[in-house]
Structure 1
Amino acid sequence: MRSIKRNDKVKRALCTGLLLVSTFLAGCAVQKVSLPESEKIEPVELYVLAASSLSDVLSEVEAAYQTYAPEIELNFSFDASGTLARQIEEGAPADVFISAAMKQMNSLSQVGLVEAESVIKLLKNQIVLIQPKGYTPRLSGFEDVISEQVEMIAVGNENVPVGDYTKTLYERLGLWEEVLGKANLATSVRQVLDWVATENVDCGVVYQTDAAIEERVEVVAIADPLSTDEVIYPAGVIADSLHKQAAKDFLTFLKSKEANTLFEKYGFTPYSNQTENK
């Protein structure tokens, strides 16, 4: 009888021990599953609407940004700044807007579609007159486009910032009406560049950065800073953005030394690092 009681005690002890071990292991299993989930960073997709003249450099900026914020996916849409501003007005999904002129950014800020306090002056550029490479007769200045040797000049239309800069330049020269009479109006600065590169026009007005990436054109004149408005590229956060902090972090990166190096590589001049309130 005693041996039977002893065996019962042993069995009960073994069962109790096994139960405690099972409970402990179950707790460990729960911890192993839940802990990584609590630390996981949710991916964020940012929609960036940017001027077409930025398409080349922003592809490199995107790659550089991935090393800083791998959880952020940048989704770019490039077009004329006026077209992009209209898309924002119509409710297109967007988190960041980068324009090739202050005009579009200011108009969106004034009606509350861009957070005014987020707007920064990001880059500067220059206006240049270009011709097909090796084209004759060769022009020497902006005034030459009204001569008989030029039958057609490509300029941006009223929705394209480069078109506004071109109009201002020729209005100050007192030549706008004559230029307009032989102008072929483009929907983007890249279209102006393409028309000149393919010799569909005699000359065109683009940004210096665009001329630098096209081997089939050459710059014949650079606009005097006093002859047109300063070419400024502002950037801002869309008021309806679902990821405002991520959008602001991206703007901060655009002002970084690494981003500035990339912008300079493509011929842009970084603006001051001071955030501007509009």
Structure 2
Amino acid sequence: MDTITWGGVEITRVVEWHGEFGPLRAFLPGVPDPVPDWLAPDHLNPATGGMVAAAQTWVLRSAGRTILVDTGVGNGRVRPTMPIFNHWRTDFLERLRAVVDPSDVDVVVNTHVHADHVGWNTHDVDGDWVATFPNATYLIPRADHEHFAGAPTHEDSIRPIVEAGLATLWDNTFRIDENLELEAAPGHTPGSSLLRLRSGADRAVFVGDLIHSPFQITQPWCGSVLCVDEAMAAKTRQRVLARAAEQGELVVPAHFGGHGAVEVRPAGDGFAITAWAAFPPPETL
């Protein structure tokens, strides 16, 4: 089981997909040529220059409740502008059920409203998109809800949740329980957010798409082509990594392959990885 305990919070990793996403330098133009070989094999295919990544959900057991952080791509979505996700189909829901029954999920956190973070919010039932987690409160950043309104992702993965009365739209910060608090982290999208975990002496921060590759830890100025405001994203990334280094927070990005999460320290103009989490590297799916 891909599970660690951080303070009084149990963290389980459920992988929807793991493999080569596409050329790393096309996704992160600031990466030098040749691509740094220290990223291989967990984050880079050296033969192709491709970024190795994962689509995954983090299942947290905290204060007697079950919280999901991001819900992945989802099955059967029409995504013509994103061919890798178009008509996507995996057995993710079966793997998630091995960890938690969807009806027992209490809270769903969408760190932002991109297709690979909200897809399993809903599933297709006789041609209608209905909540996959019918008893959960879905925490959705208000800024992203408004920014993406009318987009295909919003129509099949967000609007049905709002219309079912399951969504809580939030701004700035939102306290989930004594261990977990959401915080706005704009740049990648207007409503991008992170989830801070503080339990006993242990700290962690789930950063969504603030970081896609470990290269961005060493060079926080390096942004993704998907960032709505790359300059703001870089400032947010620098701030979040500086706090993580100072407070000893485990940094948990949404898409890292390999061991999935890191501890960092300052190094020059960026940061260095001091330790990896104890999650085993995922299999290629």
* Greater RCO structure (CA 8 Å; 6+ sep): 1
TM-score (norm. length: structure 1): 0.29
Q: Larger radius of gyration, structure 1 or 2?
A: 1
TM-score (norm. length: structure 2): 0.28
Structure with greater strand percent? 2
Structure with greater helix percent? 1
